[in-house]
Structure 1
Amino acid sequence: MRLYLASTSPARRSLLAQSGIEPVLVAPGVDEDAAAADAEATLGRALSGPELVSLLALAKAHAVADRSVAGHPVDGLVFGGDSAFEVAGRLYGKPHDPAVARARWREMLAAGSGVLWSGHCVVDRRRDRVAPNGAEVRVPPAAPSSSGRELRCGPLLGADGLEVRGDHVVAVDSARLTFAEDMDPDEIDAYVATDEPLEVAGAFTIDGRAAAYISRIDGAPSAVVGLSLPMLRRMLRVGFDVTWHDLWSTL
């Protein structure tokens, strides 16, 4: 079964590959800042961490789900993900600028720890297939949500929740990270100078140079990379009756 990754993130692709899954990478082309601003304007307030990451994960997955890839319609499951880091009630996205990254590191170290919110969305775009008896069957979409909420119309769900609706499943996972207490300014400057933290949520990666600066992770480590493997497995089972090994690449 094919899994499309609505992302060009090397970290997410590597995480799936290490798990035996070779996804098809497709850039979603979503204006994240505009999507968040529109949702906040509708609500009249700022989005929470879980709301923000689930909103953007949903937008990315749907941006790819109805697109043609290499001249062919998408045929499989589409995953979209997004992350944000929260410290003392403040959300940190990608810093982009070295000065911003250094300031964020100082704030994160002063707080000592923070929560990484990881949003997930899986959209079912499997096409007609043949059953064992030779009959053509259509894989049904995910079961409708009992809550009646329309997930595409705004902020989605709370912390560590999972929502099934129509053809997609949305979920949020989280992990608390504790930083090394003795990290000094020279180490911050050296890390920021690598440019690694500039385009990642929270200005750090645990699968790169920042791993030595994080002393503890409470939660799924893969969620900090941007794709919680335990949560994705649960989403597939609950929403689509798909097992984890159904996605393993054949040798």
Structure 2
Amino acid sequence: MTARAIDRAGETTPRPGHRLTTGHRLVLGSASPARLSTLRAAGLDPEVIVSGVDEDGVEAASPAALAATLARLKAEAVAARLTARPPAARRPTKGPATGTTIVIGCDSVLELDGIAYGRPRSAEAARAGWRRMRGTTGILHTGHRVIVLSAGSGAPSGDHTGETGTAGTGAADTGAAETASTVEVRAATGIGSTVVHFASPTDEEIDAYVATGEPQRVAGGFTLDGLGGAFVDGVEGDPHNVVGISLPLLRGLLHGLGISWIDLWQ
């Protein structure tokens, strides 16, 4: 099965009671403004590094597996880019050098009748998709991949949930010499699946919605937190997952990797 997946997902002031910690560098490997705003609203303040992964031709056994595969590829691409830079080229972390770097990769696909649908590539595709979806029920799958790199360096190895390993690092971009080191790498993968009940918008409403351009930017051609929310009757499961990142799932993955959620509050 082949499908284009989606990247869909302001800054907040510190909230009373939040613990300001500086031991971790948090990186979101996604260009999705919705994912970024969801994390910020939850008290996290990640920097954004877009993976640049070519999603065309990526195949998996199911829509859920496709979302997980693409999330893994994106997170590992960002982690590899971070570790390839020599010290002088690396962006300063928000915490001390002894902290960890946490890379989060996500990707979403909509499953309808066992078929995976990503972001519509044209207005015609978005229009056809909505005429297919209206009055039906689908499942929005979001794959999550978390990679924890000790001391901000290292490279991910393998693709197993909850894996632990080691990796060597060295200079790559400029040819400058860098002393190789061996660091711990921990990674975990999770899939969030939320049932979505679509309303039955009229042809006129579909045409007007497609004309806004919003459906062409998101997974399955709809949003829960935008103009498309009026055309969704309800969801079963985590609504954040439909927006593009499941906060409860992410918290659980981080906990399994030894990272406390509240230590990431800013």
The TM-score normalised by the length of structure 1 is 0.78
Where does residue 183 of structure 2 map in the other structure?
none
User: 2:167 aligns to what?
Assistant: none
Residue matched to 1:212: 230
Matched residues in 2 for 1:151 and 1:63: separation?
A: 13
Identity of matched residues, %: 41
CA distance in 2 between partners of 1:212 and 1:124 (Å): 38
Please tell me whether residue 236 in structure 1 is matched to residue 254 in structure 2: yes
Q: Which runs of 5+ in 2 are unaligned?
A: 1-23, 94-99, 165-185
Per-residue deviation at 1:30?
A: 0.2
* SS of aligned partner of 2:120: coil
What residue is the counterpart of 1:107 in the other structure?
A: 132
Give the RMSD, CA atoms, in angstroms: 2.4
- Which amino acid is 1:56 matched to? L
- Which residue identity does 1:107 align to in structure 2? R
Q: Among 61, 64, 69, which residue is 1:55 paired with? A: 69
Following the alignment from structure 1 to structure 2, what is the Cα–Cα distance between the partners of residues 217 and 208?
15
Amino acid at match of 1:228: S
Which whole-Å CA distance do the structure 1 matches of 2:115 and 2:227 have between them?
24
Q: Which residue of 1 aligns with 2:162?
A: 164
Distance in 1 (CA, whole Å) between partners of 2:89 and 2:225 is 34
- The superposition leaves residues 68-99 of structure 1 with CA deviations (integer Å, 9 ceiling, x where unpaired) of 38921785100000000011111111111000
Return the alpha-carbon distance in structure 1 between the equivalents of residues 265 and 117 of structure 2: 34
Q: Structure 2: how far apart are the matches of 1:87 and 1:12?
A: 23
Determine the structure 1 residue equivalent to 2:159. Answer: 151
CA distance in 2, matches of 1:32, 1:102: 22
* Partner Cα separation in structure 2 for residue 244 and residue 19 of structure 1: 10
3-state DSSP class of the match of 1:151? coil
Greater share of residues in helix: 1
Amino acid of the structure 2 residue aligned with 1:27: V
* Equivalent-residue separation in structure 2 for 1:71 and 1:207 (angstroms): 37
Q: In structure 2, what is the Cα distance between the partners aligned to 1:125 and 1:71? A: 18
* Partners of 2:64 and 2:213 in 1: CA distance: 27
Contact 2:162 2:188 in 1 (8 A): yes
Provide the residue aligned with 1:177 in structure 2: 196
Counterpart for residue 107 of structure 2? 82
- SS state of the match for residue 55, structure 1? helix
1:246 paired with 2:260, answer no
Q: Which residue of 1 aligns with 2:97?
A: none
Aligned residue number for residue 119 of structure 1: 143
Aligned residues: 211
Letter in 1 for 2:105: G
Q: Alignment partner of 2:109: what SS?
A: strand
TM-score, normalisation: structure 2:
0.74
Query: Secondary structure of the equivalent of 2:30?
Result: coil
Which residue identity does 1:236 align to in structure 2? Answer: L
For residues 101 and 150 of structure 2, the distance between their equivalents in structure 1, rounded to whole angstroms, comes to: 4
Q: How far 1:126 moved relative to its partner?
A: 2.9
User: 1:186-201 counterparts in 2 under 5 A?
Assistant: 186-201=204-219
- The equivalent of 2:38 in structure 1 is 15
